[in-house]
Amino acid sequence: MSVPVLRTERLVLREIAPTDTDAVIRMFADPWMSRFFAADLADPVQAKALVDRKLADDSAEGLGQWVIELDGKLVGLAHLRPSTQLPGGLAEIGYSLDRAHGGQGLATEAVTAVLDHGLSTMALPAIWALIHESNVASLNLAQRLGFLDVGNGVHYGAEHRVQVVLPGAHGKPHHIELWVPDLARAEESFGWLLGALGWHEFQRWSAGVSWKLGTGYLVVEQSPAVLGEPHDRMRPGLNHLALHVDTREHVDELAAEALKHGWRPMFADRYPFAGGEKHYAAYLENADGFEIELVAEPQGDLPVGH
Protein backbone atom coordinates (compact mmCIF):
# COMPACT_ATOMS: atom_id res chain seq x y z
CA MET A 1 0.00 0.00 0.00
CA SER A 2 1.23 3.48 -0.84
CA VAL A 3 -1.21 6.39 -0.88
CA PRO A 4 -0.34 9.99 -1.78
CA VAL A 5 -0.71 12.93 0.55
CA LEU A 6 -4.00 14.72 -0.20
CA ARG A 7 -4.41 18.36 0.81
CA THR A 8 -7.59 20.40 1.11
CA GLU A 9 -8.22 23.95 2.33
CA ARG A 10 -8.02 22.86 5.99
CA LEU A 11 -6.92 19.22 6.03
CA VAL A 12 -4.00 16.97 5.25
CA LEU A 13 -4.70 13.31 4.47
CA ARG A 14 -1.58 11.15 4.72
CA GLU A 15 -0.85 7.43 4.88
CA ILE A 16 -1.49 5.84 8.26
CA ALA A 17 1.62 4.96 10.30
CA PRO A 18 2.31 2.87 13.43
CA THR A 19 2.88 6.10 15.36
CA ASP A 20 -0.82 6.96 14.84
CA THR A 21 -1.97 4.07 17.04
CA ASP A 22 -2.37 5.98 20.29
CA ALA A 23 -4.24 8.87 18.61
CA VAL A 24 -6.67 6.45 16.96
CA ILE A 25 -7.29 4.68 20.26
CA ARG A 26 -8.02 8.04 21.91
CA MET A 27 -10.42 9.03 19.13
CA PHE A 28 -12.42 5.80 19.46
CA ALA A 29 -12.45 5.93 23.28
CA ASP A 30 -15.78 7.75 22.85
CA PRO A 31 -18.33 4.89 22.44
CA TRP A 32 -20.37 7.13 20.12
CA MET A 33 -17.61 6.75 17.49
CA SER A 34 -18.22 3.03 16.95
CA ARG A 35 -22.02 3.02 17.24
CA PHE A 36 -22.38 1.82 13.64
CA PHE A 37 -19.53 -0.72 13.75
CA ALA A 38 -19.76 -4.41 14.64
CA ALA A 39 -16.68 -4.02 16.86
CA ASP A 40 -16.59 -2.01 20.09
CA LEU A 41 -13.72 0.30 19.26
CA ALA A 42 -13.98 1.97 22.66
CA ASP A 43 -12.08 -1.11 23.77
CA PRO A 44 -8.38 -0.18 23.25
CA VAL A 45 -7.55 -3.75 22.22
CA GLN A 46 -10.11 -3.70 19.40
CA ALA A 47 -9.11 -0.18 18.36
CA LYS A 48 -5.47 -1.26 18.12
CA ALA A 49 -6.54 -4.29 16.08
CA LEU A 50 -8.27 -1.88 13.68
CA VAL A 51 -5.05 0.10 13.27
CA ASP A 52 -3.08 -3.11 12.72
CA ARG A 53 -5.47 -4.16 9.96
CA LYS A 54 -5.12 -0.78 8.30
CA LEU A 55 -1.32 -0.91 8.52
CA ALA A 56 -1.41 -4.38 6.90
CA ASP A 57 -3.51 -3.15 3.95
CA ASP A 58 -1.87 -4.43 0.76
CA SER A 59 -4.04 -2.59 -1.75
CA ALA A 60 -2.64 -1.60 -5.14
CA GLU A 61 -0.54 1.55 -5.49
CA GLY A 62 -2.64 4.66 -4.89
CA LEU A 63 -5.26 2.83 -2.81
CA GLY A 64 -5.24 2.24 0.92
CA GLN A 65 -5.58 4.02 4.26
CA TRP A 66 -5.25 7.67 5.30
CA VAL A 67 -5.37 9.56 8.55
CA ILE A 68 -7.08 12.96 8.48
CA GLU A 69 -5.14 15.78 10.13
CA LEU A 70 -6.33 19.26 11.12
CA ASP A 71 -3.55 21.62 12.19
CA GLY A 72 -1.25 18.63 12.62
CA LYS A 73 -3.67 16.72 14.88
CA LEU A 74 -5.31 13.41 13.91
CA VAL A 75 -9.06 13.97 13.70
CA GLY A 76 -10.18 11.06 11.54
CA LEU A 77 -9.52 8.14 9.23
CA ALA A 78 -10.36 7.50 5.58
CA HIS A 79 -9.84 4.66 3.15
CA LEU A 80 -10.25 3.78 -0.51
CA ARG A 81 -9.55 0.11 -1.15
CA PRO A 82 -10.93 -3.03 -2.79
CA SER A 83 -14.11 -3.95 -0.93
CA THR A 84 -14.18 -7.03 1.25
CA GLN A 85 -17.99 -7.02 1.11
CA LEU A 86 -18.81 -6.38 -2.56
CA PRO A 87 -17.97 -8.79 -5.40
CA GLY A 88 -14.99 -8.37 -7.67
CA GLY A 89 -12.94 -6.17 -5.37
CA LEU A 90 -14.90 -3.02 -6.23
CA ALA A 91 -13.37 0.18 -4.86
CA GLU A 92 -14.98 1.09 -1.53
CA ILE A 93 -14.63 4.39 0.36
CA GLY A 94 -15.11 4.94 4.07
CA TYR A 95 -14.27 7.45 6.78
CA SER A 96 -14.50 8.22 10.49
CA LEU A 97 -14.32 11.72 11.96
CA ASP A 98 -13.73 12.59 15.61
CA ARG A 99 -17.05 13.58 17.20
CA ALA A 100 -15.44 16.74 18.60
CA HIS A 101 -14.92 18.03 15.03
CA GLY A 102 -18.35 17.29 13.63
CA GLY A 103 -20.57 19.94 12.09
CA GLN A 104 -17.67 21.87 10.52
CA GLY A 105 -17.78 20.40 7.00
CA LEU A 106 -14.55 18.47 7.57
CA ALA A 107 -16.04 15.12 6.56
CA THR A 108 -17.28 16.62 3.29
CA GLU A 109 -13.83 18.11 2.67
CA ALA A 110 -11.99 14.85 3.37
CA VAL A 111 -14.34 12.59 1.41
CA THR A 112 -14.31 14.97 -1.56
CA ALA A 113 -10.50 14.79 -1.64
CA VAL A 114 -10.51 10.99 -1.63
CA LEU A 115 -13.21 10.84 -4.30
CA ASP A 116 -11.28 13.24 -6.53
CA HIS A 117 -8.15 11.13 -6.11
CA GLY A 118 -10.03 7.94 -6.96
CA LEU A 119 -12.11 9.16 -9.89
CA SER A 120 -9.70 11.68 -11.43
CA THR A 121 -6.17 10.59 -10.53
CA MET A 122 -6.75 6.84 -10.34
CA ALA A 123 -9.45 6.91 -13.07
CA LEU A 124 -11.57 4.36 -11.23
CA PRO A 125 -14.78 3.50 -13.12
CA ALA A 126 -16.86 3.82 -9.92
CA ILE A 127 -16.49 4.20 -6.17
CA TRP A 128 -18.81 2.38 -3.78
CA ALA A 129 -19.86 3.11 -0.19
CA LEU A 130 -21.62 0.86 2.32
CA ILE A 131 -23.43 3.03 4.87
CA HIS A 132 -25.28 1.76 7.92
CA GLU A 133 -28.99 2.35 7.36
CA SER A 134 -29.21 4.34 10.61
CA ASN A 135 -26.23 6.59 9.82
CA VAL A 136 -28.29 9.53 8.61
CA ALA A 137 -25.39 11.99 8.57
CA SER A 138 -23.30 9.81 6.26
CA LEU A 139 -26.28 9.03 4.03
CA ASN A 140 -26.92 12.77 3.65
CA LEU A 141 -23.24 13.40 2.95
CA ALA A 142 -23.23 10.74 0.23
CA GLN A 143 -26.31 12.28 -1.38
CA ARG A 144 -24.70 15.74 -1.39
CA LEU A 145 -21.59 14.35 -3.07
CA GLY A 146 -23.54 12.68 -5.88
CA PHE A 147 -23.74 9.07 -4.70
CA LEU A 148 -26.65 7.02 -5.99
CA ASP A 149 -28.51 4.62 -3.70
CA VAL A 150 -28.71 1.28 -5.51
CA GLY A 151 -30.07 -1.01 -2.81
CA ASN A 152 -29.36 -2.53 0.55
CA GLY A 153 -27.83 -5.63 2.04
CA VAL A 154 -26.26 -7.13 5.13
CA HIS A 155 -22.62 -6.01 5.25
CA TYR A 156 -20.22 -5.85 8.19
CA GLY A 157 -22.85 -7.72 10.20
CA ALA A 158 -25.69 -5.18 9.79
CA GLU A 159 -28.07 -3.71 7.25
CA HIS A 160 -26.32 -1.16 5.01
CA ARG A 161 -27.35 1.04 2.11
CA VAL A 162 -25.30 0.38 -1.03
CA GLN A 163 -24.20 3.62 -2.68
CA VAL A 164 -22.15 4.33 -5.82
CA VAL A 165 -20.68 7.43 -7.44
CA LEU A 166 -19.55 7.55 -11.08
CA PRO A 167 -17.10 9.87 -12.83
CA GLY A 168 -18.58 13.05 -14.25
CA ALA A 169 -17.80 14.69 -17.58
CA HIS A 170 -16.26 17.85 -16.10
CA GLY A 171 -12.80 18.51 -17.54
CA LYS A 172 -12.83 15.52 -19.88
CA PRO A 173 -12.48 15.86 -23.68
CA HIS A 174 -15.75 16.77 -25.37
CA HIS A 175 -14.49 15.84 -28.83
CA ILE A 176 -11.33 15.68 -30.95
CA GLU A 177 -11.40 16.78 -34.57
CA LEU A 178 -8.89 15.68 -37.21
CA TRP A 179 -8.71 17.36 -40.61
CA VAL A 180 -7.74 14.80 -43.22
CA PRO A 181 -6.77 15.05 -46.89
CA ASP A 182 -8.97 12.14 -47.99
CA LEU A 183 -12.20 11.31 -46.14
CA ALA A 184 -12.60 7.84 -47.65
CA ARG A 185 -9.10 6.78 -46.60
CA ALA A 186 -9.63 8.18 -43.12
CA GLU A 187 -12.97 6.42 -42.76
CA GLU A 188 -11.43 3.12 -43.82
CA SER A 189 -8.67 3.25 -41.22
CA PHE A 190 -10.28 5.15 -38.34
CA GLY A 191 -13.77 3.75 -38.87
CA TRP A 192 -12.62 0.15 -38.70
CA LEU A 193 -10.35 0.66 -35.70
CA LEU A 194 -12.81 2.71 -33.62
CA GLY A 195 -15.59 0.26 -34.43
CA ALA A 196 -13.40 -2.62 -33.26
CA LEU A 197 -12.88 -0.75 -29.97
CA GLY A 198 -16.62 -0.29 -29.37
CA TRP A 199 -17.17 3.22 -30.76
CA HIS A 200 -20.28 3.81 -32.87
CA GLU A 201 -20.96 6.22 -35.72
CA PHE A 202 -22.34 9.44 -34.28
CA GLN A 203 -22.65 12.06 -37.04
CA ARG A 204 -22.21 12.11 -40.80
CA TRP A 205 -22.20 14.96 -43.32
CA SER A 206 -20.77 15.51 -46.80
CA ALA A 207 -17.29 16.46 -45.59
CA GLY A 208 -16.95 14.32 -42.46
CA VAL A 209 -17.98 11.62 -40.04
CA SER A 210 -17.65 11.14 -36.28
CA TRP A 211 -17.63 8.21 -33.87
CA LYS A 212 -18.68 8.31 -30.21
CA LEU A 213 -17.70 6.40 -27.08
CA GLY A 214 -19.10 7.51 -23.73
CA THR A 215 -19.35 11.29 -23.49
CA GLY A 216 -16.66 12.08 -26.09
CA TYR A 217 -16.41 11.70 -29.84
CA LEU A 218 -13.80 11.79 -32.60
CA VAL A 219 -14.35 13.69 -35.85
CA VAL A 220 -12.55 13.24 -39.16
CA GLU A 221 -13.30 15.91 -41.73
CA GLN A 222 -12.06 16.72 -45.23
CA SER A 223 -12.59 20.44 -44.79
CA PRO A 224 -12.39 22.78 -47.81
CA ALA A 225 -10.42 25.12 -45.57
CA VAL A 226 -7.59 22.64 -44.97
CA LEU A 227 -4.17 23.75 -46.18
CA GLY A 228 -2.44 21.74 -48.88
CA GLU A 229 0.40 20.38 -46.78
CA PRO A 230 0.06 16.75 -45.62
CA HIS A 231 -0.19 15.91 -41.93
CA ASP A 232 3.22 15.58 -40.29
CA ARG A 233 3.16 14.24 -36.72
CA MET A 234 6.68 15.58 -36.17
CA ARG A 235 5.54 19.18 -36.55
CA PRO A 236 3.85 21.20 -33.78
CA GLY A 237 0.30 20.03 -33.30
CA LEU A 238 -1.12 16.55 -33.03
CA ASN A 239 1.52 13.84 -32.66
CA HIS A 240 -0.73 10.85 -31.98
CA LEU A 241 -3.87 9.54 -30.31
CA ALA A 242 -3.59 6.87 -27.61
CA LEU A 243 -6.54 4.60 -26.79
CA HIS A 244 -7.09 2.02 -24.05
CA VAL A 245 -7.48 -1.66 -24.98
CA ASP A 246 -8.80 -4.12 -22.41
CA THR A 247 -6.11 -6.85 -22.68
CA ARG A 248 -2.68 -7.52 -24.17
CA GLU A 249 -4.18 -10.28 -26.30
CA HIS A 250 -6.67 -7.80 -27.77
CA VAL A 251 -3.82 -5.40 -28.60
CA ASP A 252 -2.12 -8.22 -30.51
CA GLU A 253 -5.32 -9.06 -32.39
CA LEU A 254 -5.99 -5.44 -33.35
CA ALA A 255 -2.38 -4.84 -34.41
CA ALA A 256 -2.53 -7.82 -36.78
CA GLU A 257 -5.97 -7.03 -38.20
CA ALA A 258 -5.14 -3.34 -38.67
CA LEU A 259 -2.83 -4.18 -41.58
CA LYS A 260 -5.94 -5.00 -43.64
CA HIS A 261 -7.50 -1.59 -42.95
CA GLY A 262 -4.95 1.00 -44.01
CA TRP A 263 -2.60 0.88 -41.02
CA ARG A 264 1.08 -0.02 -40.93
CA PRO A 265 3.08 -0.97 -37.82
CA MET A 266 5.56 1.45 -36.27
CA PHE A 267 8.58 0.45 -34.18
CA ALA A 268 7.91 -3.18 -35.13
CA ASP A 269 11.37 -4.28 -33.99
CA ARG A 270 10.49 -3.24 -30.42
CA TYR A 271 6.90 -4.49 -30.32
CA PRO A 272 5.11 -4.60 -27.91
CA PHE A 273 7.37 -2.64 -25.52
CA ALA A 274 8.44 0.29 -27.71
CA GLY A 275 7.08 2.63 -25.02
CA GLY A 276 8.95 0.95 -22.15
CA GLU A 277 9.27 -2.43 -20.50
CA LYS A 278 5.97 -2.10 -18.61
CA HIS A 279 4.03 -0.34 -21.38
CA TYR A 280 2.37 -2.93 -23.64
CA ALA A 281 1.21 -1.12 -26.77
CA ALA A 282 0.90 -1.19 -30.55
CA TYR A 283 1.87 1.89 -32.58
CA LEU A 284 0.14 2.23 -35.95
CA GLU A 285 0.26 4.82 -38.75
CA ASN A 286 -2.24 5.20 -41.58
CA ALA A 287 -1.67 6.28 -45.17
CA ASP A 288 -2.06 9.97 -44.30
CA GLY A 289 0.51 9.90 -41.50
CA PHE A 290 -1.85 9.83 -38.49
CA GLU A 291 -0.56 7.73 -35.58
CA ILE A 292 -2.63 5.68 -33.17
CA GLU A 293 -1.27 4.02 -30.01
CA LEU A 294 -3.23 1.08 -28.60
CA VAL A 295 -2.36 0.62 -24.91
CA ALA A 296 -3.18 -2.54 -22.95
CA GLU A 297 -4.84 -2.04 -19.57
CA PRO A 298 -2.76 -3.07 -16.53
CA GLN A 299 -3.29 -6.72 -15.69
CA GLY A 300 -4.26 -8.14 -12.31
CA ASP A 301 -5.05 -4.98 -10.31
CA LEU A 302 -8.14 -2.96 -9.57
CA PRO A 303 -8.98 -1.31 -12.93
CA VAL A 304 -7.35 2.06 -13.35
CA GLY A 305 -6.56 4.33 -16.28
CA HIS A 306 -3.60 6.48 -17.16
Residues 25, 151 within the same domain? yes
Domain boundary among 113, 134, 165: 165
Residues 28, 154 within the same domain? yes
pLDDT lower than 50: segments of the chain: 301-306
Q: Is 1 within the bounds of a domain?
A: no
Residues 276, 188 within the same domain? yes
pLDDT in tens, 222-246: 999 998 888 999 999 999 999 999 9
- CATH classification at residue 102: 3.40.630.30
- CATH classification at residue 251: 3.10.180.10
pLDDT, residue 169, reads 82
CA pseudo-torsion sign 62, 68, 73, 75: negative
Residues 74, 186 within the same domain? no
Q: Is 93 within the bounds of a domain?
A: yes
Residues 141, 193 within the same domain? no
Domain limits for position 251: 175-296
pLDDT in tens, 112-145: 999 999 999 998 999 999 999 999 999 999 999 9
Residues 108, 256 within the same domain? no
Indicate the number of domains in the chain: 2
Q: Is 112 within the bounds of a domain?
A: yes
Domain boundary among 144, 165, 186: 165
Q: Is 302 within the bounds of a domain?
A: no
Residues 179, 161 within the same domain? no
pLDDT in tens, 11-39: 999 999 999 999 999 999 999 999 999 99
Q: Is 109 within the bounds of a domain?
A: yes
Q: Is 266 within the bounds of a domain?
A: yes
Q: Is 170 within the bounds of a domain?
A: no
Residues 209, 138 within the same domain? no
Residues 109, 220 within the same domain? no
Q: Is 301 within the bounds of a domain?
A: no
Domain boundary among 165, 193, 218: 165
pLDDT, residue 245, reads 95
Residues 50, 195 within the same domain? no
Residues 14, 157 within the same domain? yes
Residues 16, 108 within the same domain? yes
Count of Cβ atoms closer than 10 Å to residue 141 Cβ: 19
pLDDT, residue 304, reads 42
